[in-house]
Structure 1
Amino acid sequence: MGYDKSLYKPLFDAVWRGDWNEAKEFHTLHPDAIRARHSYSNKTALCMATDLEHEHIVEVLVQLMSEEDLEIRDNNGWTALALAASRGNIKMVECMVRKSKKIIDLC
């Protein structure tokens, strides 16, 4: 993907803090940020929110993402669904599986 990763830093900072309002403002200005990856971890905002168990952010991001976006993996090969399952967070798992049943096969 040809984009300036530093452009998306405010999104990742907001997700890190669990601040959906700020993340939403950034997403409104940069809708393609939904697929952007963090420069170090290669995680999307969804993977980061899942990793940090920010359920409120996960739910909204899943709604905004396509089924294919849910298949994005981090540097360790983990999808957001795999991260949610590894934490035993049933609420986040159910949210993602409702969006795309086929992601179960990717875990």
Structure 2
Amino acid sequence: MYSSSYVLTDETRIRQLNLYLAAFKGDWDAAEGIYQEYPDEISARITEEGHSALHVAASANHTHFVKQLVNRMTRPDLALMDHDGNTAFFLAAGTGNVELVQFLLQKDKTLAIIRGTEMLPLQRAALLGHRDMVVFLYEITPHDDLHDADRIALFITLINTNFYDVALRLIERYPELAIARDRSEETALHALGRKRSLSSNFTDQNQRGFWKRFLNLC
């Protein structure tokens, strides 16, 4: 189950398995007992995917466990990526737990713009339909620090997932997104056209309002 650049002893494998189970269940008492004896394990990769206990607990939506663990970590540990290039913050953004991501950002504000699996945490939250998370991350993300490719990918995702109010705020700030193309050579017009064809009555007020504003910006 576990891999490393060195050969793990049976004792280490068992210890890391116990850490994984503790993080997955949110059992801080069990994890704390291990960390007291083996403090270096706090930032260790404990799964074959390269997840640390922080990755596991964040994905499993265990806020208390994450808080206790992070308070014992250094700032570089928070940005540790798994083998897919995902930080624990990126995975947390997919849970919809705003309290959890707020806590992580208090420790390191740059986590919001570290991409995972070729997208921003904000885009991941939008793809998974977490409105409160999308609104929160939109507010705190330093948009001027993003690449053009990030903005257009985010913009089209917001359209595809019906977050028209947030998409409107983004295009009003960056009108050039009206004609920009993403990595698949798709524009916002393509995405809107597809949405409109799927809803022939076009009765969604948010959608109609966005369409009108979008055409004015083109």
Fold shared, TM-score > 0.5 on shorter chain = yes
Q: What is the aligned partner in structure 1 of residue 78 from structure 2?
A: 70
Offset, 1:41: 2.0
1:64 partner SS: coil
Distance 2:96 2:7 in 1: 34
Distance 1:49 1:39 in 2: 13
Superposed CA deviations along residues 42-62 of structure 1, whole A, max 9, x for unmatched, are 100000000111111011111
Distance 1:14 1:79 in 2: 19
Distance 1:81 1:39 in 2: 17
Kindly indicate whether residue 40 of structure 2 is the aligned counterpart of residue 32 of structure 1.
yes
Offset, 1:102: 2.2
Distance 1:26 1:3 in 2: 20
1:8 partner SS: helix
Q: Which has the larger radius of gyration?
A: 2
Q: CA RMSD in A?
A: 1.7
In structure 2, the gaps of 5 or more residues are 116-218
CA contact (8 A) 1:11 1:27 kept: no
Q: Which has the higher contact order (CA 8 A, sep 6+)?
A: 1
Q: What is the aligned partner in structure 2 of residue 90 from structure 1?
A: 98
Question: Normalised by the size of structure 1, how large is the TM-score?
Answer: 0.89
Offset, 1:35: 1.0
Offset, 1:65: 0.9
In structure 1, the gaps of 5 or more residues are none
Offset, 1:3: 7.0
| Count, aligned residues | 107
Question: Normalised by the size of structure 2, how large is the TM-score?
Answer: 0.46
Offset, 1:64: 1.0
Q: What is the aligned partner in structure 2 of residue 80 from structure 1?
A: 88
Distance 2:16 2:60 in 1: 18
Offset, 1:2: 4.8
CA contact (8 A) 1:46 1:61 kept: yes
1:28 partner SS: helix
Distance 1:3 1:31 in 2: 20
Note closer, same or farther for the CA distance 1:3–1:91 as it changes in structure 2 (3 Å cut): farther
Percent of aligned positions that are identical: 32
